[in-house]
Amino acid sequence: MRGILLLFIFAFGSVYAQSDSINKLDEIILRGNFSPVMNSGFEVKVIPDSILRNSYESLGDLLQKQANFYFKQNGSGMVSSISLRGTSASQTGVYWNGIGINSALNGQTDFNTLQANSFDQLEVRKGGGSVLFGNGSIGGAINLKDEVHFNTIRQAQALLGLASYDTYFTQLTGIWGSDSFYAKISGGAQTSENDYPYQNSDLKNDNGAFVNYNINATLGYKINESHSLRFNTSIFDNNRELSRTLSTESKAKLENSDRRFLLDWTYLGSRYTSSVKVAFLQEDFRYLFDKNVPGNESIGSSERLIGKYDFTYFLKNDLFFRAGLEFENAKGDGSNINDVSQDDFTGYVLMHHQPWKKFMYNVSIRAGASSAYDIPLIYSLDARYLFTKSLSLRGAYSTNYRLPTFNDLYWEPGGNPELKPEFSSSGEIGLDFQLTNFQVSGGWYVIKSEDLIQWRPITQDFWSPVNITSASNHGLEFMVSYNHTIGNHLLGFKASYDYTLAIDDETEQNLIYVPEHRAGGILDYSWEKWNFNYNLQYVGKVFITTSNSESLDDYLLSDISIGRSLCKDVIGLHFKVNNLFDKNYQSVAYRPMPGRNYVFQINFKL
């Protein structure tokens, strides 16, 4: 920590910064730690509001199509968890306006509890990011971003829809803005019987109904040209039955809610920026083993109070420092966790330097302390070299960690308060080529993880988590996209392919639920008031046992949609067919996904 303070003192002692650093200042204040400037050697992508706002679907479904990410789903509408570069769901950082929202109880985010069109942007950053983002960002990080625009704007939008299996949904959004004030408020609901038939079987998805609600608000106030305040809130309630499997009936039910509040004070100066965030996050769940027996249940809750300060200072236009401090107090309670509390404190420093016009690099370090475990010292180095304006070479090396969760430490019986954080080192190298309407990128990566936390049987009836496993992941990633316009005709194409090999070093077997091969393709065509989309997803075979003796077959899915705008774009009609060729497939063993199904929605814009 002494080194952090020395860098702050050095930064404050600097003098004049050239005016052309303003572009980088603007990018940093708008993008924060997801800024490409501070991630020169990594791949950073943005999924814009033009994709998010016009479709009511879960965040997992959207990322699966738009970013070629892999998700495990316990059936449609059930728990959905991500695996990025072969890492676990708790090793992928999920952030909301820069605040980590992975559960304090189990360390994961259920992507079926987040609606994609509730946010203005998604920022996706692949590769180890624990130094910049904090706990858990071993495979990569995703930021759910709400934007503030200080200009005159009046908008209202209503989205209404229905789908197969008695599914109905709606989302209402209103936006009002001026030169000094901004407000965006949205709310939505979805309900579904979700009773789709299991193909090649007499069974159907019994006990699969769900209802969810979401409310989101963003308020912004511009104090002056340098200072602004922003308040964000996100509320999600989910009430779902838990589907049966092919072999076992279910009467279980899960009720969960998330409440998130964030206040952010931002300063943008001539050569430095600062951001002070205070956040309060609350999660509750109630699991009924039998929905008809209310007393037979398990409950749990957590509360997190987070204070975060980030600061950027330019020594000159090609050299700046970024530093941050974060404090978190987390509390947990429930049927199997007895009123626990812990405090974590971490700080990081990053130096960005562009010594030549064609070369830039970042060096960063993070350290911390906790009342529950020892937080390791980690560091990162990344760089990019521009061969031409269109072609660049990037590379990165980083160390990262994932901290034990409340369940790991305090679950009764079995929790292990002596657990160490998971630790990993990762490296990658890639090439990017980009023209105005054509882009190709490819890269190779390797991840070496140690002290992985696994729950293992201590006796026949008693399980406990231990630091025992190490794993090695490596893979290739490739993406190509093309857009072309001729008159009123717009054609867009994107294809991606990922190869991932994740091995348990102890058993020398493939990790379960990590497909070696995964590919995706999107074809977009629009003409005047019409638009057409075809989406293709391929997921290779995955092993479902640690011995690799059993596996799930690979599958290829096709979705197709057609849309038409009417009344000077005030009304939009959208019809979609999912699983066009009625493929019988499973994402998780014994839990079939839906066959061919249909969605119809109407958008009203004022």
**CA dihedral angle for residue 32, residue 37, residue 40, residue 46, rounded to 10 degrees:** 60
Among residues 308, 307, 289, the alpha carbon closest in space to that of 299 is found at 289
Average pLDDT over residues 512-525: 95
Q: Which residue has the tokens 């939008």?
A: 157
Q: Quick check: bond before 413 cis, omega within 30?
A: yes
Residue burial 378-404, b: 16+ Cβ < 10 Å; e: rest: bbbbbbbbeeeeeebebbbbbbbbbbb
What pLDDT, in 10s, does the model give residues 302-311? 999 999 999 9
What is the per-residue pLDDT for 49? 83
Does the pLDDT at position 5 exceed 60?
Answer: no
Q: What is the mean pLDDT of the chain?
A: 91
Cβ-proximal residues to 452 (8 Å cutoff; 6+ apart), any chain: 422, 467, 468, 469, 470, 471
pTM here? 0.92
Do the beta carbons of residue 510 and residue 489 sit within 8 Å? no
Average pLDDT over residues 250-262: 95
The hierarchical CATH code for the domain 2-605 is: 2.40.170.20
What phi and psi values does residue 409 have, to the nearest 5 degrees? Answer: -85, -40
What is the per-residue pLDDT for 7? 38
What is the per-residue pLDDT for 361? 97
**CA dihedral angle for residue 93, residue 96, residue 98, residue 103, rounded to 10 degrees:** -40
CA-CA distance, 62 to 599, in Å (whole number)?
15
Cα dist from 481 to 46, 299, 440, 443, 492, whole Å: 14, 47, 7, 16, 8
- For the chain, the distance separating the N- and C-terminal CA atoms, rounded to the nearest angstrom, is 53
What pLDDT, in 10s, does the model give residues 458-467? 776 678 888 9
Do the beta carbons of residue 579 and residue 542 sit within 8 Å? no
Does the pLDDT at position 122 exceed 60?
Answer: yes
Average pLDDT over residues 105-131: 91
CA-CA distance, 475 to 180, in Å (whole number)?
47
CA-CA distance, 414 to 77, in Å (whole number)?
30
Check the CA dihedral 116-119-123-129 and report its sign: negative
Among residues 407, 447, 413, 135, the alpha carbon closest in space to that of 283 is found at 407
What pLDDT, in 10s, does the model give residues 440-488? 999 999 999 999 998 877 776 678 888 988 999 999 999 999 999 998 9
What is the per-residue pLDDT for 16? 35
DSSP state of 438: E
What pLDDT, in 10s, does the model give residues 146-193? 999 999 999 999 999 999 999 999 999 999 999 999 999 999 999 999
C-alpha of 37 from chain center: 20
CA-CA distance, 384 to 359, in Å (whole number)?
6
